[in-house]
Amino acid sequence: MAIISVINGPNLNMLGTREPGIYGAQTLADIEKSLTQLAEQHGHELRFFQSNAEHDLVNRVQQSKQHGVAIILLNPAAFTHTSVALRDAILASDTPFIELHLSNVHARESFRQHSYFSDIAKGVICGFGPKSYELALLATLPLIENTPRD
How many residues interact with ligand DQA (rule CB under 6 A)? 10
Residues between 87 and 146 that touch ligand DQA (CB under 6 A): 101-103, 105, 112
> Quick check: 78 binds ligand DQA (CB under 6 A)?
yes
For the bound state, the minimum distance from the C-beta of residue 142 to ligand DQA, rounded and expressed in Å, comes to 24
| Burial (0-12, 13-18, 19+ Cβ within 10 Å), 69 | buried
Q: Is 101 a catalytic residue?
A: yes
Strand 69-75 vs strand 3-8: parallel, antiparallel, or unpaired?
parallel
Contact call for residues 16 and 26 (beta carbons, < 8 A): yes
Phi/psi for 77 (5° steps) reads 55, -135
Report the alpha-carbon distance of residue 99 to residue 87 in Å, rounded.
Answer: 11
CA 77 → CA 38, 45, 52, 130, 144, distances in Å?
23, 23, 10, 13, 24
Applying CB under 6 A, which of residues 50, 64, 80, 93 lies at the interface with ligand DQA?
Answer: 80
Q: Could you say which residues in the range 1-20 bind ligand DQA, by CB under 6 A?
A: 11
Q: Which is nearer to ligand DQA, 73 or 102 (CB)?
A: 102
Q: Which of 23, 44, 116, 133 is labelled catalytic?
A: 23
Instruction: Give least dist CB 11 to ligand DQA, A.
Output: 5
Per-residue binding string, ligand DQA, 48-77, x by CB under 6 A, is ---------------------------x-x
End-to-end CA, the chain: 10
Residue 116 bears catalytic tag: no
Active site residues: 23, 101
Q: Which residues contribute to the site for ligand DQA (CB under 6 A)?
A: 11, 75, 77-78, 80, 101-103, 105, 112
